[in-house]
Homo-oligomer: A and B are copies of this chain.
Amino acid sequence: MPDAAPPATVSRLITYLRTVSDLLEQGVSNTSSEALAGATHISAFQIRKDLAYFGTFGTRGSGYDVQVVHDRLREILGLTAVYNVAIIGMGRLGQAITDYPTFGEYGFRIRALLDHDPARIGQAFADVTVSDSADMARVFRERDIEMALITVPVHAAQAVADQVVASGVTAILNFAPAVLSVPPDVAVESVDFLAGLKRLSYHLRGLPVLRASGRQQPV
């Protein structure tokens, strides 16, 4: 039995969770790997393999109980716990994130806001007052912060990441368009606005280029 699933599997599990959440909302109680395949564009074989990786979710031939899969995926993904989250960088983006409506539903609780700008320190967003980022280590410790969202400008992102790591947090969600360098025990996920745009540009312009492409040969 492996200790952890590969990142691509985790991403697919998140897709499955979103899909079964939608099914629950629609009042659907039973599904199959084929139905999930139709909704997710992931093959039924891959879905069966991914879910089997974490134990038995259903009975061969009778499909999956949607509620069971939903609850088990939330458990596997660690989403039954509550996480204390800090946002570092309270410019427009940091402020916008405090408006995001569904954090709480998944147990992500915004417990600290930090900035180094005296004009922002002391302001409140979503009932949390902005602290001085110079006090990061103390704020993280006092509020049991487990995840840090970095929403500072790109030139400041690495220095802030270093400070986050020095303050003992090992999970970073990075919004700056920069590749962050962190120790191997720290997990960084990036929210990249451009990746979505690039996929759209492929949609708008990709086909003619593809049609003109040539031979297939491994290198």
Contacts and interface: CB of A to CB of B under 8 A. Distances in A.
A158 to B, nearest CB: 14
B99 A91 contact: yes
Interface in A167-195: 170-173, 177, 179, 187, 189-191, 193-195
A86 to B, nearest CB: 12
A202 B99 contact: no
A219 B55 contact: no
A55 B215 contact: yes
A95 B97 contact: no
A106 B198 contact: yes
Contact of A200 (B5, B60, B187): B187
A173 B146 CA distance: 30
Interface of A: 1-7, 10-11, 13-14, 17, 22, 33, 41, 48-49, 51-60, 63-64, 75-79, 81, 83, 85, 91-93, 95-97, 99-103, 106-108, 146-147, 153-154, 170-173, 177, 179, 187, 189-191, 193-207, 209-211, 213-219
